[in-house]
Structure 1
Amino acid sequence: MNEKLQVLRARLQEIYHLHSAKAILEWDQGTFMPNLGAESRGNQLSVLAGLHHHRQTDPELGRLLEELSAEAESLSYDSDEAALIRVAKQDYDTETKVSPEFVAEFVSHTAKTYSAWVKARKQDDFSIVQPYLEKTLELSRRYAEFFEYEHVADPLIARNDYGMTVGTIRPLFSQLRDALVPMVEAITSKEPTGAFTIKKHYPADKQIEFGKKVITRLGFDWERGRQDYAPHPFMTKFAHNDIRITTRVNENYLGEALFSSIHETGHALYEFGINEAYEGTPLHHGTSSGVHESQSRLWENIVGRSYEFWTFFYPQLQATFPEQLKDVSLDEFYCETNKVSRSLIRTDADEVTYNLHVIIRFDLETQMLEGNLKVKDLPEAWRARYQSDLGISSPTNANGVLQDIHWYFDHIGGLFQGYTLGNILSSQFFAAAEKEIPNVRELMKQGDFTQLHTFLQNNIYTHGRKYTTDELVKRVTGQALSIDPYVEYLQNKFSMIYPQLRK
């Protein structure tokens, strides 16, 4: 078995490096590539994707995995060797169902779609990207047809949140929506007193300088990572010691760069923390979209928007922007930072309304896949859902259907549910951390995030993909996935800001 495992690792390492090379080109496309390079970049990515898929579906790899799977029955389920064989076999079985011609076609198409989206968003013109998106929908349905499924979106969901289906997500989202809508209505029925506006002029260079201080304190390793700019912030990994995050700056809104930086740092901390011995294998990634998002949302919201966090950082922020914040108290800043409102932009949404944005997207993409919504009707359907669910509607597509990159750089389907799953899990994981570190919030007041980081590192990050989401949640929290800790967290936090929520 040891000899076969060495052969397996060698094969998997080649696949890993091809994936990393593709990620480098995608990072460059999202940051520095000239717009006219889109067609060539699409061809380059298509070639790499074809090579990656060819290696990942090599029949020799399949035979090796079959032999190892039989021999692995004698291994402990928790052993690294058993996990490597198990996860590699799962990936192989998935990839061999998809034709290499389809993979090459899809990658080439999405590279062109991304550039069309950038142009459409800038010009607020959905018609520029509409034909590309219609092709993406066709390709997304074709992808699903490679698999057996109960719902056409299930194979697409499985790409990012293995084990989750439309059948499991819809009831969960419905339960959460039932808890959130009354909360939103109660909060927005009365404006808080004493609020100021953080939408003043904050020079970009000072915003970035302060943000770097913050994420350094949280644990971002500048020897292994870097930060750049992108129209839509993201995190990517090329290797264990080469992890990139991006942000965007709005000089008239303090929160955009700061919280997107903290958010992407949460993703990066996860990747920094995976067991280095897993590098070059499929274990060297996060468990799922939902678990990954739980870390970005935990650091961005539960930590970064907490009163304890700002008890430490607010004096430093005032020193950075003395004119803008000289007459603003900590309590006023905290309330404004956590202000709940019916807004248009998902990435700028507060914690209470955020999941309604996600549920809208999940419903719309599911309807498109089902054939119940045409792409040409998507902008109007988007506006109608925002009006009915959030009581607000955008007159522009740039702040509507064009605001997110997801459908314009990947499949339609299975891309948004991870955000809400992540919110739910972030509270479960933080509650588990509080049990082990009872004074964790006092430590946060002192700017000490080391023990929290260590808890997450030891219980989540180090395992990579060794465990499924369900297995990991039960190991860390002792419970199955539940919305209860999340709803309790929101109720407790926002009832302190909005008296009308107090029972």
Structure 2
Amino acid sequence: MNESQAYASLVAHGRESADLASALSLLSWDQQVMLPAAAHPGRAAQLGALTAVLHRRATDPRIGEWLAACEGSPLTRDAATSEAANLREWRRDYDLSVKIPEELAVALARAASAGQRAWEIARKENDFKAFAPHLQELLELSRRKAEALGYTTEAYDALLDGFEPGETVAAVAPILAELRGASRELIAKAKDAPQPRDLPQGPYPLAAQQAFLGEVTRMLGLPPEASRLDVSAHPFSTLIGPRDARITVRYDATDFTKALFGAVHETGHSLYSLGHDIGDARHGTPMAEYVSLAVHESQSRLWENQVARSLPFWEHVLPLAVQHFPELAGCAPRDVFAAVGAIRPGLIRVDADETTYNPHIVLRFELELALVRGDLAVADLPGAWNEKSRDILGIVPPSDAAGCLQDVHWATGAFGYFPTYSLGNVYAACLFEAARAALPGLDAAMARGDFAPLLAWLRTNIHEKGRLLRPRDLVAAATGQAPTAGPLIRHLKAKAQAVYGL
């Protein structure tokens, strides 16, 4: 078999696996959005069975043979080609997959399915003890996964690398510390400054919010024929398959901005997902996939924060909002801009303002690192969470539902995921600063409701690149410099200056 035949075999195998993975994604989406309560045990078995099939395909010895036939051939001579990038990433995926026993992969899938359902109930009933056994199982399985993958310094590094290739505790911790310090300084200054006026508390009818979100997401570029919006306990976005992006939100009748920013955030994810899978030629290859969760998060946070929390956005969107919510008729664009840009420490991460968001991530990162290291017992998590919340956010949760049970990530075994949120914030600020330099009329375009130039810039520089470059290299190529926390800190300071005059 020559390299061309081997490469064609890899593509064909990848496409079939991608189609099967789409079925797995659909089962998972359905579990979170539509599944009847009594059907959850059966769904866990279904997810486990399909995970086993995909794991066998991912570890098929033929993949190693096909890769060996291609590596060192003309297909890998130019690292900037799609073929070379696909082969490099297929090799990474295969080498990692063969380290995970099928039994462990299936156990993780089943435990995640059961854990998610247990979390939904425990969060609703504020019952951490009922959820604790599931968390313990998921933690133990995650430690086994880290040992199977291998690591140099930290078991946590092996888990983090699965979400953010190449990142480690040693590399991430200083960035989080820098962001925490900058946030703490701004929070302290804003505390004594006059606070912006709150927006009217509604009520904002559900039907009106749904209609408003549909108009805003279409305005940003999300194609209605390739997406849908639903409700779930925890907002999320997933790409079921080509041209099939799903997003979810949760509504609050007293505050329409919670669903709005949730929808814009998930729209950013979906725009990225739809943007790197640009046709049949790429389907089933790494070039049709996202490069990392931090880059994925950079897209959602950019649209949520740099765009939807900006004054130009509200100059265009407020008249539309007033049509749906007459309560806003007395507000000016600057009033809404100030209200949604205010620094107001709170308990819930997904509702946090830009400045207090990163301290939320620091809290979670430090706790899950302690859990993985074995320095913190699952039974002691609620107390440790409350203590860190007091130290980092200055607030103690009144319940576990508003504390250690508020996020779904650990309920699905996603240890090592949280740092990607802050890295995503860093990347978002770097990218938006570069886009502004490349598109001098960007603010004016957004004030007209024209978001196409920004989306086109992101498509060219990020979305269409797939896994051509590693995360930090991708951002550096798009911006012309290595990513740092500098642009994000400048952005937060500029927002505080605009809102508070700090």
Q: Same fold (TM over 0.5)?
A: yes
User: Displacement of 1:329 after TM fit?
Assistant: 2.6
CA distance in 2, matches of 1:440, 1:466: 27
Helix, strand or coil for the counterpart of 2:155? coil
User: Displacement of 1:492 after TM fit?
Assistant: 1.0
User: Displacement of 1:72 after TM fit?
Assistant: 4.8
2:323 corresponding residue in structure 1: 319
Letter in 2 for 1:285: E
Please say if residues 116 and 129 of structure 1, whose CA atoms lie closer than 8 Å, have aligned partners that are also in contact: yes
2:193 corresponding residue in structure 1: 190
Please say if residues 76 and 83 of structure 2, whose CA atoms lie closer than 8 Å, have aligned partners that are also in contact: no
Please list the CA deviations of residues 301-357 of structure 1 after superposition, one character each: whole Å capped at 9, or x if unmatched: 1000100000001011112111x2232232222211112111000000000000000
2:13 corresponding residue in structure 1: 11
Letter in 1 for 2:347: L
Of 83, 103, 124, which aligns to 2:105? 103
Q: How does 1:13-28 map to 2 (within 5 A)?
A: 13-28=15-30
2:350 corresponding residue in structure 1: 347
2:468 corresponding residue in structure 1: 466
Q: After superposing the two structures, state which structure 1 stretch, 238-247 or 361-370, moved more.
A: 238-247
1:246 corresponding residue in structure 2: 248
Tell me the TM-score normalised to structure 1 length: 0.97
Please say if residues 133 and 407 of structure 1, whose CA atoms lie closer than 8 Å, have aligned partners that are also in contact: yes
Of 198, 204, 207, which aligns to 2:206? 204
Letter in 2 for 1:427: A
Q: In the alignment, does 2:309 pair up with 1:285? A: no
User: Displacement of 1:281 after TM fit?
Assistant: 1.8
Please say if residues 161 and 288 of structure 1, whose CA atoms lie closer than 8 Å, have aligned partners that are also in contact: yes
Letter in 1 for 2:421: Y
CA distance in 1, matches of 2:468, 2:32: 30
Please say if residues 234 and 245 of structure 1, whose CA atoms lie closer than 8 Å, have aligned partners that are also in contact: yes
1:263 corresponding residue in structure 2: 265
CA distance in 2, matches of 1:379, 1:422: 27
Please say if residues 198 and 254 of structure 1, whose CA atoms lie closer than 8 Å, have aligned partners that are also in contact: no
Q: CA RMSD in A?
A: 1.2
CA distance in 2, matches of 1:199, 1:39: 40
Runs of 4+ deviating beyond 6 Å:
none
CA distance in 1, matches of 2:286, 2:404: 34
Please list the CA deviations of residues 176-213 of structure 1 after superposition, one character each: whole Å capped at 9, or x if unmatched: 212221111111233425x1334331001101101110
Please say if residues 235 and 262 of structure 2, whose CA atoms lie closer than 8 Å, have aligned partners that are also in contact: yes
Helix, strand or coil for the counterpart of 1:250? coil
CA distance in 1, matches of 2:102, 2:210: 42
Please say if residues 16 and 282 of structure 1, whose CA atoms lie closer than 8 Å, have aligned partners that are also in contact: no
User: Displacement of 1:464 after TM fit?
Assistant: 1.3
Please say if residues 302 and 425 of structure 2, whose CA atoms lie closer than 8 Å, have aligned partners that are also in contact: yes
Q: In the alignment, does 2:264 pair up with 1:232? A: no
1:427 corresponding residue in structure 2: 429
Letter in 2 for 1:383: N
Letter in 2 for 1:352: T
Cα gap change, 1:466 to 1:115, in 2 (>3 Å) = same
User: Displacement of 1:266 after TM fit?
Assistant: 0.2
Please say if residues 72 and 82 of structure 1, whose CA atoms lie closer than 8 Å, have aligned partners that are also in contact: no
CA distance in 2, matches of 1:474, 1:495: 28
2:86 corresponding residue in structure 1: 84
User: Displacement of 1:70 after TM fit?
Assistant: 2.3
Q: After superposing the two structures, state which structure 1 stretch, 462-471 or 78-87, moved more.
A: 462-471
Helix, strand or coil for the counterpart of 2:160? helix
1:306 corresponding residue in structure 2: 310
Q: How does 1:51-450 map to 2 (within 5 A)?
A: 51-72=53-74, 75-149=77-151, 150-193=153-196, 195-274=197-276, 275-276=278-279, 277-322=281-326, 324-411=327-414, 413-450=415-452
Helix, strand or coil for the counterpart of 1:129? helix
Letter in 1 for 2:147: E
Please say if residues 161 and 418 of structure 1, whose CA atoms lie closer than 8 Å, have aligned partners that are also in contact: yes
CA distance in 1, matches of 2:52, 2:66: 21
CA distance in 1, matches of 2:117, 2:76: 50
Please say if residues 198 and 336 of structure 1, whose CA atoms lie closer than 8 Å, have aligned partners that are also in contact: no
Helix, strand or coil for the counterpart of 2:288? coil
CA distance in 1, matches of 2:304, 2:56: 38
CA distance in 2, matches of 1:132, 1:239: 30
Helix, strand or coil for the counterpart of 1:447? coil
CA distance in 2, matches of 1:260, 1:269: 14
Please list the CA deviations of residues 343-373 of structure 1 after superposition, one character each: whole Å capped at 9, or x if unmatched: 0000000000000001100110000011111
Please list the CA deviations of residues 385-408 of structure 1 after superposition, one character each: whole Å capped at 9, or x if unmatched: 111111111111111111111000
Helix, strand or coil for the counterpart of 2:331? coil
Please list the CA deviations of residues 68-94 of structure 1 after superposition, one character each: whole Å capped at 9, or x if unmatched: 122257521111111111111110001
Please list the CA deviations of residues 66-119 of structure 1 after superposition, one character each: whole Å capped at 9, or x if unmatched: 221222575211111111111111100011111001001111111111111111
Unaligned stretches of 5+ residues in structure 2: none
CA distance in 1, matches of 2:51, 2:358: 33
Please say if residues 232 and 404 of structure 1, whose CA atoms lie closer than 8 Å, have aligned partners that are also in contact: yes
Helix, strand or coil for the counterpart of 1:344? coil
Helix, strand or coil for the counterpart of 2:287? coil
Please say if residues 139 and 413 of structure 2, whose CA atoms lie closer than 8 Å, have aligned partners that are also in contact: no
Please list the CA deviations of residues 265-285 of structure 1 after superposition, one character each: whole Å capped at 9, or x if unmatched: 000100111132321223222
CA distance in 2, matches of 1:420, 1:459: 21
User: Displacement of 1:5 after TM fit?
Assistant: 1.2
CA distance in 1, matches of 2:74, 2:348: 48
CA distance in 2, matches of 1:155, 1:72: 32
CA distance in 1, matches of 2:426, 2:104: 35
Helix, strand or coil for the counterpart of 1:245? strand
CA distance in 1, matches of 2:403, 2:310: 29
Helix, strand or coil for the counterpart of 1:145? helix
Cα gap change, 1:74 to 1:371, in 2 (>3 Å) = closer
Unaligned stretches of 5+ residues in structure 1: none
CA distance in 1, matches of 2:39, 2:192: 49
Cα gap change, 1:198 to 1:401, in 2 (>3 Å) = farther
